[in-house]
Amino acid sequence: KAGVTQTPRYLIKTRGQQVTLSCSPISGHRSVSWYQQTPGQGLQFLFEYFSETQRNKGNFPGRFSGRQFSNSRSEMNVSTLELGDSALYLCASSLGTVLTDTQYFGPGTRLTVL
């Protein structure tokens, strides 16, 4: 089975711009979660989508948004980029319906904001 894929792997943007990151889950997985990883704050949960609906949300400003498509692929959007948004953005997929579910992570998208 193919793993979780994320595109692009690297991005460089400037302050004020917006960016869209994409995540394709493992086949059969219906839940996609997004995490931000920075040296200062570590790994932080952004949000989770299941069956095209946001099911969980972390403590991030409204500039961070996402969506999920009918094929379970997910996109994350960050508007009005700030320097502090520079991070590794990790996507994880899981079945989403099993009590003892496990999240499997993609390779991440490294975003640099200049």
Q: Which residues of this protein are in contact with another protein, per CB under 8 A?
A: 31, 33, 35, 42-45, 48, 50, 55-56, 58, 88, 90, 92, 94-108, 110
- For another protein, the closer of residues 48 and 85 by Cβ is 48
Burial status of residue 95 (CB atoms within 10 A of its CB: 0-12, 13-18, 19 or more): middle
Q: What whole-number distance in Å separates Cα of residue 104 and Cα of residue 35? A: 12
Task: Give the shortest CB-90-to-another protein separation in angstroms.
Answer: 6
Give the pairing of strands 109-113 and 87-94.
antiparallel
Task: Give the shortest CB-111-to-another protein separation in angstroms.
Answer: 12
Query: Three-class SS of residue 84?
Result: helix
Q: What whole-number distance in Å separates Cα of residue 112 and Cα of residue 104? A: 24
Task: Give the shortest CB-85-to-another protein separation in angstroms.
Answer: 17
- For another protein, the closer of residues 14 and 112 by Cβ is 112
Task: Give the shortest CB-88-to-another protein separation in angstroms.
Answer: 6
- For another protein, the closer of residues 14 and 97 by Cβ is 97
